[in-house]
Amino acid sequence: MLTREPEFYPPAINWLGLLGRDIWMTCRNAGRALLMLWEGLLDLRFMLGNRARPEVVYQLYVTGIKSIGVISVVAMFTGMILALQTGLELRKFGQEVNIGAAVMVSMLREMGPFMTALILAASVGSAMAAELGTMVVSEEIAALEVMSIRPVRFLVMPRLVAMMVMTPLMTFYACMLGVIGGALVGTTQLGVSLQAYIDNATRFAENKDLYVGLFKAFVFGIIVTTVSCHQGFSTTEGAVGVGRATRRSVIISFLSILIVGYVITRLFYV
Amino acid sequence: MIKFEHVTKYFGERRVLDDLDFEVQRGETFVIVGFSGAGKSVSLKHMIRLLTPDQGAVWVDGEDISHAGQRDLVRLRERFGVLFQSAALLEWLTVGENVALPLREKTDLDDAEIHRRVEETLNMVNLNDIYLAHPSDLSGGMRKRVGLARAIITNPEIILYDEPTSGLDPVTSRTIDDLIDRLRRELKVTGVVVTHDLFSALAIGTRIAMIHQGHFIELSTPADFIKSRHQVVQDFLEAQYITKKGAWEAPRNETHQQSIT
Ligand SMILES: Nc1ncnc2c1ncn2[C@@H]1O[C@H](COP(=O)(O)OP(=O)(O)O)[C@@H](O)[C@H]1O
Ligand SMILES: [Mg+2]
């Protein structure tokens, strides 16, 4: 059941009590978020059904097409900055041709998935938290439950699909744009020929970099959806609560992306 | 049909429902009146387990909904239609899609049939030509009526109305009153109505209860309700210019009494 009773706690006796309660609440919320994710994953089987399809398509559109602009700009400039910074250093040793590898590998392995996930968390994820939070406050979630329409199937599943598909796609797109940005700087500012840049980039980057990067993006997509939807559903206390849920969804998403990103890198590259 | 068994509910330190004990009979329209914040909506939410009692239990047709498991809960809730105080329309859907939602999700009717049912139900609540409007473009009273349409479209056997006529003009209010009364008489719907509007309470109620400080201070037929000796009830009546000397007469009361006993 997602519609929760309001909870009340007596004031804590001292800071230790407060800390204990905070830890307990954090664990409980994490558990609830994971349960919600599990339910959402099971509901993926309804993804292509007549009832869910329009909403799934709409969410794909919102998540992908609507954020393509900002991702393009950020990816392009990230590639350009990477190329310029490393290029200027490498030039001291006459090695500026290696910017190809530097840009390609860092975009694929880290910058691409990381950047895309952060942008999606800040735009799409925060919108999810705010939307669902508003629905809780205006009793829409309660109304769904009373109509026996499960909010997770109805609301979370389409968003989950959209993020699971779009985060890797957008990541791939961001990597390509980043590499193009790097090429632009390489050819115009650093005097590296396009051919040399491409050769260098493809020689050092491995398929593994691509796969791990896309896997990371996929996981980040799930994290952002889970955190944001859970925060939305946990909203209490009206408009103030919606603001708090939105803020928390972004903060928790960012932190989780960083930590999980490290863990995945550690697992695959050490 | 719906039975509250010594229900007590706390919000923090506050006891909002205090040993509430009553039963709504099958086929009656049970009206709950009371001041704002008295716990009317809270008691309504207990009937569909959006809230769970701290003590006591709520029974729906012989089943304890307040301790039911997930599966039983779904089955019990399917017998209800609920109009929320805030109407609770889904903002990103059109009015038509909102009203169609229960049919689309819970039945296998085809689109044409659903469309026909939706138009028909919207007509019942005096709304025409707003199929494609969005809830955010509607006035509070119109949203209420869309919510009412959504609550009744599945022909539920029990309907809970949270302030069905608040925010409506007097003429439309009487239309909604007629609708609620017609649902009871023609379709034998069991209704629970929460309202501030005593005129509507007296017109549609088979019994009226007044909730105050967590329990009913008066529970009687409309004819007896206006004669209540309880001071709080008297104040409540007088605030709406209804006195026991009878600014208001109850022509339908006799039949009501016969129909429930
Ligand atoms: N979710 C909630 N959390 C805390 N207090 C609540 C909640 N819902 C209702 N209350 C409190 O319970 C009391 C009764 O509320 P309600 O039943 O909505 O009043 P009304 O009779 O006007 O419908 C109010 O004082 C309200 O503050
Ligand atoms: Mg209320």
Confirm if B6 and B215 have CB atoms less than 8 A apart: no
Give B-chain residues touching A139 at CB under 8 angstroms: 84-86, 88
- Report yes or no on B17 lying in a domain: yes
- Report yes or no on B100 lying in a domain: no
- Report yes or no on B149 lying in a domain: no
Dihedral over Cα of A188, A190, A195, A199: its sign: negative
Residue B244 is predicted with a pLDDT of 53
| Closest residue of chain B to A9, computed from CA coordinates | B12
Confirm if A224 and A121 have CB atoms less than 8 A apart: yes
Residue B48 is predicted with a pLDDT of 94
Q: Residue range A119-146: average pLDDT?
A: 94
Q: What is the DSSP string of B104-138?
A: HHH----HHHHHHHHHHHHHHTT--S-TT--GGGS
SS3 B162: strand
Residue A200 is predicted with a pLDDT of 87
Going by their DSSP bridges, the two strands B207-212 and B158-162 should be labelled as unpaired
Residue ranges per domain, chain A?
A: 15-269
- Report yes or no on B165 lying in a domain: no
- Report yes or no on B113 lying in a domain: no
Residue B255 is predicted with a pLDDT of 47
B73: domain range?
2-79+195-260
pLDDT tens digit sequence for B197-213: 888 899 999 999 999 99
Q: Residue range A229-250: average pLDDT?
A: 92
- Report yes or no on B34 lying in a domain: yes
- Its pTM stands at 0.88
What percentage of chain A reaches a pLDDT higher than 70? 99
Tell me which residues of chain A have a C-beta less than 8 Å from any C-beta of chain B: 1, 3, 5-6, 8, 51, 134-135, 138-140, 142-143, 145-149, 154
List ligand 1's pocket residues with C-beta within 6 A.
A 6; B 11, 16, 34, 36-42
**Euclidean distance between CA atoms A151 and B153, whole angstroms:** 20
Residue B78 has pLDDT above 50, yes or no: yes
pLDDT tens digit sequence for A39-86: 999 998 988 888 888 899 999 999 988 899 999 999 999 999 999 999
- Report yes or no on B20 lying in a domain: yes
Give B169's pLDDT tier (boundaries 50, 70, 90): confident
Residue B21 is predicted with a pLDDT of 92
Residue B258 has pLDDT above 50, yes or no: no
Q: What is the DSSP string of A46-58?
A: GTTSTTTHHHHHH
**Euclidean distance between CA atoms B203 and B173, whole angstroms:** 11
User: What are the two backbone dihedrals, phi and then psi, of residue A76, each rounded to the nearest 5 degrees?
Assistant: -55, -50
What single-letter amino acid sits at B142?
A: M
- Report yes or no on B256 lying in a domain: yes
**Euclidean distance between CA atoms B122 and B103, whole angstroms:** 14
Number of structural domains (chain B) is 1
Nearest CA owner, ligand 1 atom 19? B37
Give B259's pLDDT tier (boundaries 50, 70, 90): very low
Residue A189 has pLDDT above 90, yes or no: no
A182 min Cα distance to partner chain B (Å)? 41
pLDDT tens digit sequence for B210-251: 999 998 999 999 888 888 888 898 888 888 777 655 555 554
Around Cβ A150, how many Cβ atoms within 10 Å?
19
Residue A243 has pLDDT above 70, yes or no: yes
- Where does chain B show beta strands of DSSP type E? 2-11, 14-24, 29-34, 55-60, 63-64, 80-83, 158-162, 190-194, 207-212, 215-220
Residue B254 is predicted with a pLDDT of 47
Dihedral over Cα of B137, B141, B142, B147: its sign: positive
We report the CATH number of the domain holding residue B231 as 3.40.50.300
Give chain B's end-to-end CA distance (angstroms, integer).
14
